[in-house]
Structure 1
Amino acid sequence: MEISREFLIDFLNIGTFIQFVTALISTIYFKKYNNTILKYFSFILWYTFINEIVGILIVDYYSRFNAIIYNIYHVINFFFLFLIYREFINSNRLKKSIMFFILIYIMSFIINGFYENYLKEFQSIPYIIAASLMITTIILYFSELLNSEKVLNTNKNLLFWISVGLLIFFVGNIPFRIVRNYYTDLEGITILFLINIILTIIMNLCFIIGFIWSDSRQQY
């Protein structure tokens, strides 16, 4: 099923607006988590929104190549997300595993630069590797959470809601990335773009629930 370009653009604008709302709400409820590393998550959300706007403007008014700003964004975003979980996970063994994940991602990003142009091509393989490792990290976090007293208040835990949103997004986004980069001539590719936008909206709605519903006493 093919979806019109106009409909896809309108839906993309909705997704971008939801990102703006999420960043705004994260600022409104900043006091809930400003004494933890999660305080930087608000900055990442604003960076995400601004990056999307800049990416759109580059394509509309300057060049069809805007991959560089997304490649830089993914490095910063993944690095920060890994550090968040390293901070909140208690097991030293798991903390070391997360640092190993970061090393794998950085190495894959550097090596992939010899095969894909950072300026013109999205670094697809490093992204898929990082997303897969992030899914693993979230599962490790959930596993530790289930075996702790904090499981009794998961619905009040901001990182829990962030993790739910990220897990849903990355599980659905990895197949999209593979298809987008290697099967771009596939019929019905637009429906996959639509699904990806829906995943982005769902992820941000989870973030919003977390900011509103969480309790500052449950962030540790």
Structure 2
Amino acid sequence: MDEFLKENYALITYSVEFFAFLAGLISYRKYKTTPARIIVYFLGFAFVVDLIGRYPHFLWQMDLFHLIEGTLIERNYWWYTIFWWCGLSFFVYYINHQIVQNIKFKRIIRLAYYLYLLQVILALVFRFEYLFKPDERIIKIASLWIVMLNIIIYFFETLNSERIIRFYKSLYFYFNTAIFIWVLIMIPMDFFEAYFNPEDWNYVLFKWKIYLSLNIFLYLTISSALIFCAPENKLLFSNGRT
């Protein structure tokens, strides 16, 4: 099993991500007039970001690694910090800002996201060098709190509206739940990246197994929800307005 994982980890990860994106494309027509279409964009974005993020490996295979060797972008930490964590935060914010109907909640989400952007900008200005190291914390922690805030507000509004009766049929419920669980586990794991040693295969394989399990859970949950859920009637979102 471990040998199989060593040889096929990237292929399995990309296959799961591509399957989810394909499911989104197949389902896009029924969601194209709803905020759920943004979830399809998210799946495409995630696949492209993860694929490009493998650039050190691709350059190594093409004997071109010397082009980036010794530079700040020799490792791909900066790429995932900017495009994955900041991108995930944007999509979670944008989707929930669209579906949350309480005006006060919408205002809180919007102001919180502006605060998040300020944190990111300050981190880039004053801690720019940490962007290229595995021990970057500020942006990841900021991404954690903004994602969690958006999802908690969505859950809170759902619990206090008639939508709670049909929550199990909601694509947004499955999307937010999957992201919530994924982030809760992934952020602590990501903090251990500073201790990553490519020679320690016990740790590498342990990390890969957790990452792969989380990604399979995330993408299969979202893709299944896209396929089996139906577009939600706009009237379902009329409750809770103030």
**TM-score (normalizing by structure 1):** 0.85
Instruction: Pick the aligned partner of 2:115 from 96, 104, 110.
Output: 104
Equivalence for 2:23: 25
- Equivalent residue, structure 2, for 1:60: 58
CA contact (8 A) 1:86 1:98 kept: yes
Post-superposition offset of 1:27: 0.6
Match of 2:240 in 1: none
**Residue 71 of structure 2: aligned partner:** none
Report the residue type matching 1:106 in the other structure: L
Measured in 1, the distance between the counterparts of 2:232 and 2:100 equals 17
Q: Hey, what does 1:195 align to over in structure 2?
A: 210
Match of 1:115 among 87, 109, 127: 127
- Label 1:42 to 1:178 Cα distance change in 2 as closer, same or farther (>3 A): same
Distance 1:55 1:216 in 2: 33
Paired residues, number: 217
The residue number in structure 1 matching 2:89 is 78
Separation in 2, partners of 1:53, 1:13: 10
Instruction: For 1:30 and 1:124, locate their aligned partners in 2 and report how far apart those are by CA, in whole Å.
Output: 36
Q: Which residue of 2 aligns with 1:142?
A: 155
CA displacement at 1:5 relative to structure 2: 8.0
For structure 2, the 5+ residue unaligned runs are 60-64, 69-73, 238-242
Structure 1 residues 119 and 141: CA distance shift in structure 2, 3 A: closer
**Aligned position for 1:168:** 181
Moved over 4 A (4+): 3-6
Amino acid at match of 2:96: Y
1:215 partner amino acid: A
| Paired amino acid for 1:90 | Q
- Which structure's CA Rg is the greater one? 2
1:4 deviates by: 5.8
Structure 1's 9 and 75: CA in aligned 2 closer, same or farther, altered over 3 A? farther
Once residues 163 and 44 of structure 1 are traced to their aligned partners in structure 2, the CA distance between those partners, rounded to angstroms, is 13
Helix, strand or coil for the counterpart of 1:29?
helix
Specify whether residues 189 and 99 from structure 1 end up closer, same or farther in structure 2 by C-alpha distance, changes over 3 A only.
farther
Q: 1:45 to 1:118 in 2, by over 3 A?
A: farther
Are the counterparts in 2 of residues 74 and 127 from structure 1 also a CA contact under 8 Å?
yes
Return 29-38 or 109-118, whichever deviates more: 109-118
Q: 1:126 aligns with which of 101, 123, 139?
A: 139
Distance 1:59 1:141, change over 3 A: same
Answering whether residue 227 of structure 2 is matched by residue 212 of structure 1, we say yes
Distance apart, 1:118 and its partner CA? 7.2
Choose which of 35, 39, 42 in structure 1 pairs with 2:40. 42
Instruction: Check conservation: 2:89, 2:146, Cα contact below 8 A.
Output: no
Q: 1:7 to 1:127 in 2, by over 3 A?
A: same
1:180 aligns with 2:193: yes
Q: TM-score, normalised by structure 2?
A: 0.78
1:95 aligns with: 106
Amino acid at match of 1:189: Y
Contact 2:178 2:222 in 1 (8 A): yes
